[in-house]
Amino acid sequence: RDEGPPKEIQDIRDNSKDGEYWESLAHIIPERTLKLWDALGDALLEYHKVLTRRSELFSQATALQRQNS
């Protein structure tokens, strides 16, 4: 039965660069890209507001057309 390396070898692990590794992953997406995504998100929210308002106005116009007929 092969159970992997002996326990004393498993316990010896160089973790001196772990912090550096995780810190680098925290900044994997460039700041410029994050700013672009934020701007696009804001623009989409504004577009959603415009479409919502347009839908409300269309519903009002349809109701007025029905009243006028």
d(CA 2, CA 52): 64
In this predicted structure, what is the pLDDT of residue 8?
62
pTM: 0.57
| Domain segments of the chain as ranges | 30-68
Contacts of 4 (CB under 8 A, 6+ apart): 10
- Determine how many CB atoms are found less than 10 A away from the CB of residue 30: 9
**In tens digits, what is the pLDDT along the chain, a chain of 69 residues?**
566 666 666 667 788 889 999 999 988 999 999 999 999 999 999 999 999 999 999 999 999 999 999
In this predicted structure, what is the pLDDT of residue 2?
60
d(CA 4, CA 48): 57
